[in-house]
Amino acid sequence: MNIPDFAISYPDEETCRKKFKEQRDQMGVTCRHCNCKEHYWLENKQAYECKRCHARQTLRSGTVMQHSNLPYRYRFVAMHLLTATKGSFSTAELQRQLGHKRYQPIWEMANKLRDVMGKRDDEYMLEGAIKLNNAFCSTEISLEDKEKQLKRGRGSQKKTKVPVMAGSKTVENPKAGKKVRCLKMKVISDLKFETITNNVKDRVENTADLTIDDLTSYTKLKEHVHSHTASVIPNEELANVLLWVHTAISNAKRQLLGVYYKIKPKYLQYYLNRFCYKFNRRYFGEKQFERLLIAAETYVPNFKSRIYVYFTLKVYRYFNPKVYHFKINSKLVFYFLEAPPKSRKRALLFSLLFSFSANHFSGLFHSV
């Protein structure tokens, strides 16, 4: 769907809301309390009411719009840009196009959409001929690693480890050969064989034929697939043996470096979700928008913005606070994370009371 067609189909907020409700009615609404699938629609309340237990849920509940007050049209514009553009775009650009004053809500909205893209792809397992290799994406150094000595190579703090798996099948038309079907990328914490083995088991069928290089972390993979081909691949033959894997890695890195800057490792997975979702549906054309709309109404995102509350504190030697903390530049940084939007004020108030209740602490509070 191009921009003129989108503007004609969804000209205002009411049209977007009606389309969202029409799609949700078609998919069906399930009660969260009794799992009943029969509901009344209350027009004056703009909510569904269960016929059995009379529990109510809003139109946004159970979808990507849960716990969000942004207009429906914002979501529709974001979904259109995520699916219609071949490349990518930054959240700051999306904010300018929407004319919204604050950056944070738009960034959360975009990441929630990327989250449901990943949830949709997780429904499918790779099968057939699978090729696996590791990618090392450049990310921002985490706070706890900034004071450590910078490493080189695979263990560098600037690199995040991402196993990349591409599944292909043999076709005869339009050209004979193998054609890649599905791509999966998953951020992991280390390259230990337990981590990689569990990652492959969760995403690859046991009937698959796996092709990898001779990395020691891949030694246990042969126990979980039908066939296992591991060999030392020379650099001049690497492009032919793992062609689609390295093509996907190159394209993903170029997109991340060209559009986004200083991605934190904990948010890298969301951007890779969008890349894989687009790659796996590259032949869907204008149907991508409808498919993403279905995913947006099917899954509730796990993404939650994190609040960082910084306390500049002076700690006496004889006092040992019984809280989880770590030291960064003579500061104790307390994390009150994963607070949902409705509980953020409560978490912030709790952090203030906790900090000033300690008689052996003196400091200055400020939030970022």
Per-residue pLDDT tens digits for 147-176: 788 888 777 888 899 999 998 875 554 455
What average pLDDT does this structure show over 208-225? 85
Domain boundary assignment for the chain: 1-59, 129-257, 307-367
Question: Residues of 339-368 as b/e, b for ≥16 C-beta within 10 angstroms?
Answer: beeeeeeebbeebeebbeeeeebebeeeee
What does DSSP assign to residue 93?
A: H
Is residue 139 a contact partner of residue 265, using CB atoms and an 8 Å limit? yes
Question: Residues of 179-193 as b/e, b for ≥16 C-beta within 10 angstroms?
Answer: ebbbbbbbbbeebee
Per-residue pLDDT tens digits for 20-78: 999 999 998 999 889 899 999 998 888 999 999 999 999 999 899 988 889 999 999 99
How confident is residue 121, by pLDDT bands cut at 50, 70 and 90? very high
Domain range 129-257, CATH architecture: 2-Layer Sandwich (3.30)
CA–CA separation, 226 vs 221, rounded Å? 10
**Helices 72-84, 268-280: inter-axial angle, 10-degree rounding:** 60
Task: State how beta strands 227-231 and 159-171 pair.
Answer: unpaired
Averaged pLDDT of the chain? 79
How confident is residue 216, by pLDDT bands cut at 50, 70 and 90? confident
**75 or 332: whose pLDDT is higher?**
75
How confident is residue 88, by pLDDT bands cut at 50, 70 and 90? confident
What average pLDDT does this structure show over 135-158? 81
**How far is it between the farthest Cα atoms of the chain?**
76
Task: State how beta strands 47-50 and 209-213 pair.
Answer: unpaired
pTM comes to 0.79
Strand, helix or coil for residue 50: strand
**346 or 270: whose pLDDT is higher?**
270
Nearest to 84 by CA among 92, 95, 76: 76
Overall residue count recorded for the chain in this entry: 368
How confident is residue 224, by pLDDT bands cut at 50, 70 and 90? confident
Least confident of 250-254, 274-278, 327-331, 348-352: 327-331
Residue type, 83: T
Least confident of 12-26, 30-44, 191-205, 337-351: 337-351
